[in-house]
Amino acid sequence: MATWRLTIRYDGARYKGWQRLGKEDGESTIQGKLEAVFFTLCGEEILVTGSGRTDAGVHALAQAAHFRTTASLSSQSILAHAARYLPDDIAVTAAEEADDRFHARYQVKEKIYLYRLDTGLWPDPFERKYAWHIPEPLDFKSMARAAQDLLGEHDFSAFTTMKSKKKSYVKRLKSVDIEKDPNKESIVYIRLVADGFLHNMVRIIVGTLIEVGREERDAHSLSGLLDGGLRSDAGPTAPAKGLFLERAVYTGSEQNEEGPLKKINMTSEPGIF
């Protein structure tokens, strides 16, 4: 039995999300599509386990996953088969044999999500599936200030639609950065790093920060939503189309540098990047 670790990139616009809830919805989920393709490669039922369960309409730049099989495979055979049989909106970009103990979900150290905003006066038709269009001016300085109050380990009950008495609502949010795409003036990213995220947590944080940017919410009020706050007190859930799972980080993985995006300085003048 071999364990294969995958890196997967996908456009989630036409899918119900990552998780296959049953055989009948396999064709409408990322997991279902992958398992069907790898069944034809391995000749046996395959379970593909991802680092997390992205929601309907959410995209991934580098989703991590693994599967186990008794078939004799190589990285080249996996990549070639995936490229040939997967639909154009799903791609396996890396495959490597991993230690038998590797688990894509349970061994995640942290996850990084990006949320894309289209801040142009008119919506860009080429961004309509990949960004939330916000035409009015946003106070990015206030948004960055508000985000700082969310950092650390807290009960994020106010920032999730999850309803469970068994699961913990406590997560450690490590950073929230607002960054501008240097190649496209109208595109702004909100990047969030945490040890894990609750259902819809990123989208609700973004929706709440947008209220701050629109001056509909005080920049110093977000701390009051933590550790016992109510979902009804936080902002709206941002549209799924702007959300991307950038990558999952595992123990021993190298950290990427800040990258090409220019961070919005909290001490700069509002609107200046």
DSSP 220: T
Query: If you count DSSP H runs as helices and E runs as strands, how many of each does the chain have, helices first?
Result: 4, 11
Around Cβ 132, how many Cβ atoms within 10 Å? 21
**Cα-Cα end-to-end distance for the chain:** 52
CA dihedral 251, 256, 261, 266 (to 10 degrees): 60
Spell out the residues 6+ positions from residue 206 whose beta carbon is closer than 8 angstroms to its own. Answer: 115, 132, 190, 238, 242, 243
- State the alpha helices, DSSP H only, in the chain: 30-42, 75-85, 140-148, 201-213
Active site residue 149: no
Distance of CA 26 to the CA centre of its chain: 21
Q: Are the CB atoms for 9 and 63 separated by under 8 Å?
A: yes
Structure tokens, 5? 């670790």
The catalytic residue among 25, 55, 88, 218 is 55
Catalytic residue annotation = 55
